[in-house]
Chain A
Amino acid sequence: MSKQAPTLPPMGALGFLRFTWRQLTSMKTALILLFLLAIASVPGSIFPQRGNNPLRVNEWISDSPTFGPIFDAFGFFDVYSSPWFAAVYLLLFISLIGCVLPRTKVHWRAMFAPPPPAPRNLLRLPESMSFEVSAPTDEVLARGRKYLSGRRWRLLVAENSVAAEKGYLRETGNLLFHFSLILILVAIALGGLFGWKGNVIVRTGQGFSNTLTQYDAWGGGRFTGASRLSPFSFTLDKFNVEFDRSEAQRGSPKLFEADVTYRRSPGTDAENARIEVNTPLEIDGAKVFLVGHGYAPHLVVRDAGGEITFDDTVVFLPQDGNFTSTGVVKIPDSNPQLGFQGIFVPTAASNNLRGPISIFPGPDDPAVFMSAWRGDMGLDSGAPQSVYRLDTAAMEQIGIVALRQGQTWTLPDGSGSIAFTGFERWASFQIAYDPGKEIALLGAVLAITGLLLTLFIRRRRVWITATTNTEGVTVVNLAGLARIESADLPGELQSLRSVVSDLPDTASASSNDETREQK
């Protein structure tokens, strides 16, 4: 390196750091990082994401055993928490801070500094004019000063000139916008560290209390534990749902709402609330959202002697828009073990050619299709089992049958019977607590405010000089300078000219000339 550029001093470690810092905080790097951020976000919309849909991620991986694990290793199913995505946005934020901090310092100084004095030859500036007035120089300058300070320009007054500047809020807005983005990032981090979110399915008539064990799924930040959950509880009294029966939108939901009775803590009074899709219930900062619903058929299982071994509603999970739902019943205490896989259809197809498929989401003609299994359901292995799946690897099928409401099926091997006595509805709730969301909202509001300031305020300078020429006439020079092209400087200079020459303002009439030039 020294051979090619002998005049350059060796860079050294500090110099290298400084070089890297300058590169990182340059606008070009910021631009490239913005593009990278846009590109890095794309895969998350194409591949299913664990945070949104873990089931589809598993399906995706098992469907393509070659590429699935490779994509998984590179974080394509957790794009927004992957190291490479974090690398892009963290670099972008470092670049942002590195750019904004020095600018804040410069802007802070500029806010308290007077505007730069008038250049020696004002008429060299592209927006300038020179004219003579009868008033003495003092009066001209005084008029200009009064006019400008009345319009909140910052002034620097010298003997023969006035310098003025306006539009500092443009840079203030710019800085505010970028600091707000940092605030939003902090809010997201707060939510991630201290917030939590859980899902639970509650059948009509059943209750829920806010403890970890009651959740079907729960995820919390690093600093959230079970002790931080507020001790509320609620019971699902009634679940109302209506589906559209019109030709055009048949089967699409028209309404669903959950009526609940809740207590803020075990000793307090019960209160009633209705939870709807866009109206969550807020209890102690946690919000209870209605996110889904389904059917829970009531099944009664009897053993060979007629003794009831199971009698309850069972949550069946919907598989399609018409609520064809699947679920299982496990009787682990019978010998051999007995299990049922079921498909519930709220409205059975009239011809059974299409198999157990529902044709309408409402319960017009409910039926269950039960298949009975006997053998070892694998509970002894100790591995946790889903309550929605029956492991039939070591079981044999006894038979399969369709049941309407009120019907009983006596198992063909004489080991007992199963009856479909009715059904309830269930609702699934997401319960979330995010301490960062108010801060994020504040950040968003400030960001928009900053944007509006920086995009619509124009920073510009004007100068007035007034001198007396050899004939004793006052010569006034006016000039203006704007940082961006959209400034309406000619109009402003015209107004100023009218003011200092004590004439009626003609600017509003003349400033529109340019915009109609093509007519």
Chain B
Amino acid sequence: MSATQLAAASNAAVYASMVTLTFAMVSFAISFASGRRRVVVVAPAPVEMNSSGSTAVLTRSVGGTPTDNQTGRRSANIGMSLTWLGFVVLLAGVVLRGVWAGRVPWGNMYEFSITSALGILGVFLLISLRRDVRWLGLFIVIPALLTLGLAVTVLYTEAAQLVPALKSYWLIIHVSAAIICAGAFTLAASTAGLALVQSRAERRGKSGLARVPSAEKLRTLTYRVLAFAFPLWTFAVVAGAIWAENAWGRYWGWDPKETWAFITWVIYAAYLHARSTVGWRGDRASWVAIAGWAAFIINYFGVNIFINSLHSYSGV
């Protein structure tokens, strides 16, 4: 394939994955909404009498019609399949971009964004292999789509050779770790946000969002994802420091990018401490997890675009 064909194929794949993910989002949204209706139903629940044998057992169905449940489950399954499809197509787009550029596909903000969207979906799908997280789909596909949307509209740049500062194998190590963290942090922010919603409902004695686990389960999932992401983020920062020592002559110089990486690290460290501090384990810890994600996002968009930093490789 020629360079222009590669470029066209990569861009087409990215757009195709966006279309697929939009349908995935709609499916997840339908599943989510059908679940909601199930909770809203307050009509007197039908009481069935089961009189087989000597003991009569009263069964009370939780409410709603079985069709609602089926619709919800089916559309959640469609959403998962479409997310897998979108992931594979996006993977193709990212790989083609790398082939086109002749290097790793994260040399500027556009490339980093599409690869991060891949990271968000990848972390989610990886978890979905081990446990049922279909309820989370909507809150994963939305940030992935937003990232891709920003990438193709605002951040798009033609593939070009790397500037000399980026020509190092540390680009592969440092940035790939950051991309996986982007996925994990985003997922954890979604579950932490859902935990806040559920815990609010639980405090008011309601059952909360249907199909979504209890606040406590969500908090546990958030913790597990962040317990995986925190050492990885530490590694990403350390790898960056080693690279900085090799390129700029100091391993830490409080460049804005480094500063915000440090702030992100400190907030997630605070999260882990909050998890074992009385009075902080619940909603407060969830807020801290969201704050850590916010710092990560500021570091990505804010520092790349608005602040003059040594890490200004955005290409925008």
Knowing A27-B273, A197-B249, the reply to whether A448 touches B238 (Cβ < 8 A) is yes
Interface residues of B in 214-249 (CB under 8 A from A): 220, 223-224, 227-228, 230-231, 234-235, 238, 241-243, 245-249
B276 touches A451 (CB 8 A): no
A34 touches B269 (CB 8 A): yes
A46 touches B269 (CB 8 A): no
Indicate with 1 or 0, residue by residue over B252-265, a CB within 8 angstroms of chain A CB atoms. 11111001101100
Tell me which residues across on chain A come within 8 A of B230, comparing CB atoms.
451, 455
B157 touches A248 (CB 8 A): yes
Contacts A/B (CB < 8 Å), 26 sampled? A31-B270, A31-B280, A34-B266, A34-B270, A35-B270, A41-B266, A52-B255, A80-B254, A197-B250, A248-B159, A252-B160, A252-B163, A253-B163, A254-B164, A277-B247, A280-B249, A289-B247, A291-B248, A291-B249, A434-B251, A437-B245, A448-B231, A448-B235, A451-B234, A486-B224, A518-B134
Output the residue of A46, A278, A279 with the most chain B CB within 10 A. A278
Known: A52-B253, A448-B234. 16 other contacts (CB 8 A): A27-B276, A28-B279, A45-B256, A45-B307, A197-B250, A246-B158, A249-B160, A249-B315, A253-B163, A255-B164, A280-B246, A430-B249, A437-B251, A441-B238, A448-B231, A455-B231
Tell me which residues across on chain B come within 8 A of A403, comparing CB atoms.
none
B132 within 8 A of A: yes
B160 touches A28 (CB 8 A): no
B204 within 8 A of A: no
Output the residue of A34, A244, A279 with the most chain B CB within 10 A. A34
Whole-angstrom distance between the Cβ of A229 and the nearest chain B Cβ: 15
Whole-angstrom distance between the Cβ of A294 and the nearest chain B Cβ: 15
B81 within 8 A of A: no
A278 touches B165 (CB 8 A): yes
Tell me which residues across on chain A come within 8 A of B273, comparing CB atoms.
27, 30-31, 34
Interface residues of B in 255-314 (CB under 8 A from A): 255-256, 259-260, 262-263, 266-267, 269-270, 273-274, 276-277, 279-280, 295, 303, 307
A49 touches B254 (CB 8 A): yes
Interface residues of A in 214-270 (CB under 8 A from B): 244, 246-249, 252-256
Tell me which residues across on chain A come within 8 A of B157, comparing CB atoms.
248-249
Q: How many angstroms from the CA of A27 to the CA of B161 in the assembled complex?
A: 49
Whole-angstrom distance between the Cβ of B210 and the nearest chain A Cβ: 11
Tell me which residues across on chain B come within 8 A of A432, comparing CB atoms.
249-250
A202 within 8 A of B: no
Tell me which residues across on chain B come within 8 A of A456, comparing CB atoms.
227
By a beta-carbon cutoff of 8 Å, the part of chain B in contact with chain A is: 130-132, 134-135, 157-161, 163-165, 167-168, 170, 211, 213, 220, 223-224, 227-228, 230-231, 234-235, 238, 241-243, 245-256, 259-260, 262-263, 266-267, 269-270, 273-274, 276-277, 279-280, 295, 303, 307, 315
A4 within 8 A of B: no
Tell me which residues across on chain B come within 8 A of A452, comparing CB atoms.
231
A37 within 8 A of B: yes
Tell me which residues across on chain A come within 8 A of B134, comparing CB atoms.
518
Q: How many angstroms from the CA of A417 to the CA of B205 in the assembled complex?
A: 91
Tell me which residues across on chain A come within 8 A of B228, comparing CB atoms.
455
Output the residue of A248, A432, A451 with the most chain B CB within 10 A. A451
Whole-angstrom distance between the Cβ of A323 and the nearest chain B Cβ: 15
Nearest residue (CB) in B for A449 is B231
A276 within 8 A of B: yes
Knowing A253-B163, A448-B234, A451-B231, the reply to whether A485 touches B220 (Cβ < 8 A) is yes
Residue of A38, A278, A486, A515 near B167 (CB, 8 A) is: A278
Nearest residue (CB) in A for B161 is A254
Tell me which residues across on chain A come within 8 A of B131, comparing CB atoms.
515-516
Nearest residue (CB) in A for B275 is A484
B277 touches A28 (CB 8 A): yes
A51 within 8 A of B: yes
A519 within 8 A of B: yes
Nearest residue (CB) in B for A445 is B238
A38 touches B266 (CB 8 A): yes
Q: How many angstroms from the CA of A451 to the CA of B160 in the assembled complex?
A: 38
Tell me which residues across on chain B come within 8 A of A278, comparing CB atoms.
164-165, 167-168, 170, 243, 246-247
Whole-angstrom distance between the Cβ of B304 and the nearest chain A Cβ: 12
Residue of A38, A253, A444 near B241 (CB, 8 A) is: A444
Whole-angstrom distance between the Cβ of A292 and the nearest chain B Cβ: 11
Nearest residue (CB) in A for B130 is A515
A44 touches B254 (CB 8 A): yes
Whole-angstrom distance between the Cβ of A514 and the nearest chain B Cβ: 9
A41 touches B259 (CB 8 A): yes
Tell me which residues across on chain A come within 8 A of B252, comparing CB atoms.
188
A11 within 8 A of B: no
Interface residues of A in 60-93 (CB under 8 A from B): 79-80
